[in-house]
Amino acid sequence: MIFRVLIFLFVMVPYLILAIPYQVPASRLGLPGWNGIPRIFHRIGAAFLGLKVTVLGKPVTGKPVLIVSNHISWTDIIAIGSVADLTFVAKKEVESWFFVGFMASLQRTLYVDRTRRSDAKRTTREMGQRMAAGGAVLLFAEGQSDIGTHVLPFRSALVGAAQHAMIEAGAKQVLIQPLTVAYTRLQGLPVSRNDRSLIAWIKSKSVKENIREILTGGIKEVTVAFGIPRPLAHGADRKAVTKQAENEVRRMLVALNRGMPLPELMG
């Protein structure tokens, strides 16, 4: 815990003091380096939270891509953000969270109000614009977090809406890339089912309880596995495409939880 306090006081705080004055206008204007600053912040955050991140596969860069992922904990964002430049899609409530909302906005996070259908259309239009400009957008496709032992059904609505938005924005074809997040070891030992409740953000616990358990817990080894990207073309069956990505994420999660290799991602 002392090590984390030192990281916070002597690394994270000074970095924020130096980086935020540039990041605020850079993120709004798309100035050079705006996306590199958040990645460094996430890497510092990973050390602070005790996350040891391993990457398998490669994220698509320089092309329009929609990344669809499972979701276990808010620490997923730190782990993924430390290894890839992308835009997250988050629920509207996150924008009002103390400090978290401010930092998320600096990374140009897209917010969606799930209670308003018209707002979902606005979000997907913005997703399409980001991807048409050659950026990557990440969608936690389950719609909620889970304990990390299995994958909930992916929601195809935003995938389909994003598909239309991308076409409207000028990207005739984009890629869809499955991404799996797996917490595999805690303090060097395989993660048990009981351990997962100390990592995952489950509904029975408050935000404060979950944050306290993460900060006081041991080193958590997390694997971020980028699957093989596939075309998301105009006219493609969004439900079939979403189901295919869901199955791929599930297959990788089962393998990683069992300690099995993913040779197709190691070449």
Is domain 2-265 in CATH 3.40.50, yes or no? Answer: no
Residue 144, pLDDT score: 80
Residue 204, pLDDT score: 62
Residue 91, pLDDT score: 82
CA distance 59 to 53: 15
Determine if the pTM surpasses 0.85.
yes
Residue 89, pLDDT score: 87
For residue range 51-92, list pLDDT tens digits in order.
999 999 999 988 888 999 999 988 999 999 999 999 898 888
Residue 233, pLDDT score: 72
Residue 48, pLDDT score: 92
pLDDT lower than 70: segments of the chain: 117-118, 161, 165, 202-205, 267
